[in-house]
A and B are shown apart, each in its own frame.
Chain A
Amino acid sequence: MSSQNIEQHLQEKKISEIINPKLLQVPPDVSVKRAVEYMQENKSAYVIVSDNNKALGIFTQADAVQTLFQSDFDWKRPIRDIMTKDPVSLSPNDSVMRAIDIMAEHSSYYIPLINEKQELVGILSVRTLIRALAEFYPAEVYNLPPDPHQVMPTPEGG
Chain B
Amino acid sequence: MNIKCPSCGFESIEGEDRCQQCLHSLMQRDIPRPKKDDNIQHAILTAPVSDLLTGHDLLVCSPTDPLNKIVKIFKKDNKNCVLVYQKKKLVGILSNRDLLLKLAGKDQDLSKLKVEDIMTKDPGCVKPEDPIAYAINKMALGRYRHVPVLRDDGTPVSILVIKDVLQHLSKRIKSK
Task: Say which one of B39-47, B55-63, B115-123 lies at the interface with A.
Answer: B39-47
Bound Cα distance A103, B169 (Å) = 11
Is B96 within 8 A of A140, CB to CB? Answer: no
Q: How large is the interface on A (under 10, 10 to 19, 20 to 34, 35 or more residues)?
A: 35 or more
Given A144-B134, A144-B137; A40-B162 close (CB under 8 Å): no
List of A residues within 8 angstroms of B166 by Cβ: 100, 103-104, 126, 129-130
Q: Does A30 contact B (CB under 8 A)?
A: no
List of B residues within 8 angstroms of A12 by Cβ: none
Task: Say which one of A2-10, A13-21, A85-93, A113-121 lies at the interface with B.
Answer: A2-10
A83 to nearest B CB, angstroms? 14
Q: Does B23 contact A (CB under 8 A)?
A: no
Q: Does B167 contact A (CB under 8 A)?
A: yes
Q: Does B154 contact A (CB under 8 A)?
A: no
Q: Does B153 contact A (CB under 8 A)?
A: no
Is B133 within 8 A of A144, CB to CB? Answer: yes
Q: Does A65 contact B (CB under 8 A)?
A: yes
Interface residues in A105-138 (C-beta closer than 8 Å to B): 105, 107, 109, 126-127, 129-131, 133-134, 137-138
Interface residues in B144-173 (C-beta closer than 8 Å to A): 145, 152, 162-163, 165-167, 169-171, 173
List of A residues within 8 angstroms of B32 by Cβ: 139-140, 143
List of B residues within 8 angstroms of A37 by Cβ: 105
Bound Cα distance A10, B130 (Å) = 25
Beta-carbon nearest neighbor of B39 in chain A: A7
Bound Cα distance A10, B152 (Å) = 35
Given A3-B35, A7-B38, A143-B3; A137-B100 close (CB under 8 Å): no
Contact pick for A36, options B1, B41, B104, CB 8 Å: B104
Chain A residues in contact with chain B, CB under 8 A? 1, 3-4, 6-7, 10, 32-33, 36-37, 39-40, 43, 45, 61-62, 64-66, 68-69, 75, 97, 100-101, 103-105, 107, 109, 126-127, 129-131, 133-134, 137-145, 148-149
Other A-B pairs, 17, CB within 8 Å; known A61-B80, A129-B166, A143-B32 = A3-B35, A6-B41, A39-B101, A40-B105, A61-B99, A64-B104, A65-B71, A65-B80, A100-B170, A109-B145, A126-B162, A127-B139, A134-B139, A142-B137, A144-B134, A148-B31, A149-B127
